[in-house]
Structure 1
């Protein structure tokens, strides 16, 4: 009887080296699955709305929005391909095989890295717009931004460098049969995936913050650096400052979601990813759901686009010419 009970607690009762199941109440597990599934679905829907909005409406075809589009694509892929696997990873019983396990970690690193690099590009865009506005239109063009976005996604495949051992021998780091863990080179991941991009983001936004504060004070006191500056230029500056503040919120939320994972990573050079790091990993992925929520709170054009999409007005003739920014 005791042997039967022990076998029932195994993920694969017919295999002696099988992992054991969690003795977790079924109601707790069900609530966790429902919550994670809801977040995954919400991430997919919200980022799809961003993708449709920026892709469809011609007035939104700007270099800054092209970067937001690339970020939305990476966040959409997180919700579509990574979060569902994370639901399976919530339990120690992984029934999808070692190859799918490796694929999950590979997809997660690609999409997360793409999000990080997109954040760097967005910070550079805001830096040039605020700190060097006279050269913005010539420095940040649609063609150049497309090239930068392409390089961003190419760079994202650097995860091959520290997942190579897992690809050569899937399951080699599993402590028991039916587990899904992966070993990464912690130092390499921290430098390429966190320290370099985050330090760049922070430095650029500190510079943007200093310039934005000085410009805000100048506007309040009706003092301009160039007295011949037109009111139209001042309006553009105000819009740029507002965009910088909005994207500053995006970056701040990004740092709050990513820092816990990399703080844990600093504890050692090699990290075994698995069920023990589920919460901080899910926090990283949850950032992909928060980005479009921030757009909805701060961007009137996004709310207007959502209304046109939900009411199917987007299907009308010449809807791509709609004046979204009015």
Structure 2
């Protein structure tokens, strides 16, 4: 759609014969693209920053599940920041130098992998909560979740730094002209990346959520059959607890579904390329689609979670600055 508005080609660096060519568009079209992407970048960072502040500040939100949401919000916030660099690439020109190009792609790979890893952890968390509710408080503790999140980010950083080592050591090695931003991953590295960052995590997520759905349906039927003849405060509390877990599983299931819809095209393009060559300008659409996911997650939280809406209100009205606000109940 964007390319249909291209009217002519110009050099990224007019004074260099070896310069890449850029895609020139009508001023109105260029302004529209920049406004939309800039607004999305700003809103993504602001909304996810609110989630980070909310979960970090309010003590009653310090739960294992919310720790995972915090990790996801951090990665989404950083993705929103990277969208600024994607805006620079809209015209197919990179003006920040080869070193910044390598750093940009390394960070993009790391944040993507960290997001996918966090999604896997969220799926495991909901699986244990729904399928093994009695064991959940013992198996899923705050400390264990924090260790898992730390390992997720550490592995993402190590794996992709090794994967892109050639591009880090020799920035711009694979550029064909001045103003291009390209990284190349060898065949086996590309296969490893697709398997570890896409196929394996997505398989785990889908299998776990299918299992969650089956168990949720069976538990809902059991509750309906028992509630008719059951009385007592204890039973009511157990039913309320199960409904709460189901609601959380449903909300996070929507997050996972939206995530898969946004990230799958990126890896499909990688698989189709065969040689695992990712050009910044050629991959602009699928990368922006992944960035859209980081923008949508806070909106999903706002729709499903009352605590997030309450926290946003508290932050916007500066109630968060009052003494003792960290002990407030945002549920």
Residue 178 (1) aligns with residue 179 (2): yes
Q: How does 1:76-225 map to 2 (within 5 A)?
A: 76-80=77-81, 82-157=82-157, 158-184=159-185, 185-222=189-226
TM-score, with structure 1 as normaliser: 0.93
Structure 1 Cα separation of the partners of residues 121 and 231 of structure 2? 32
Q: Which SS does the other structure have where 2:215 is aligned?
A: helix
Structure 2 Cα separation of the partners of residues 128 and 269 of structure 1? 39
Residue 59 of structure 1 deviates from its aligned partner by 1.0
Structure 1 Cα separation of the partners of residues 96 and 271 of structure 2? 30
Structure 2 Cα separation of the partners of residues 33 and 10 of structure 1? 20
Stretches of 4+ moved more than 3 A in 1? 226-229
Equivalent pairs counted in the alignment come to 316
Alignment match, 1:5: none
Q: How does 1:1-326 map to 2 (within 5 A)?
A: 9-80=10-81, 82-157=82-157, 158-184=159-185, 185-222=189-226, 230-267=235-272, 268-325=274-331
For the structure 1 residues 23 and 91, does the alpha-carbon distance in structure 2 shift closer, same or farther, using more than 3 Å as the test?
closer
Where do 5+ consecutive residues of structure 1 fail to align? 1-7
Q: Which SS does the other structure have where 2:184 is aligned?
A: strand
Residue 168 of structure 1 deviates from its aligned partner by 2.0
Structure 2 Cα separation of the partners of residues 87 and 23 of structure 1? 14
TM-score, with structure 2 as normaliser: 0.92
Q: Deviations over 1:5-32 (max 9, x none)?
A: xxx9211122111111213112111111
Residue 230 of structure 1 deviates from its aligned partner by 2.6
- Larger mean CA deviation between 19-28 and 187-196 belongs to 19-28
Q: Is the 8 A contact 2:270 2:278 kept in 1?
A: no
- Aligned-CA RMSD value: 1.7
Q: Is the 8 A contact 1:187 1:269 kept in 2?
A: no
Q: Which SS does the other structure have where 1:72 is aligned?
A: helix
Q: Is the 8 A contact 2:24 2:91 kept in 1?
A: no
Structure 2 Cα separation of the partners of residues 108 and 201 of structure 1? 22
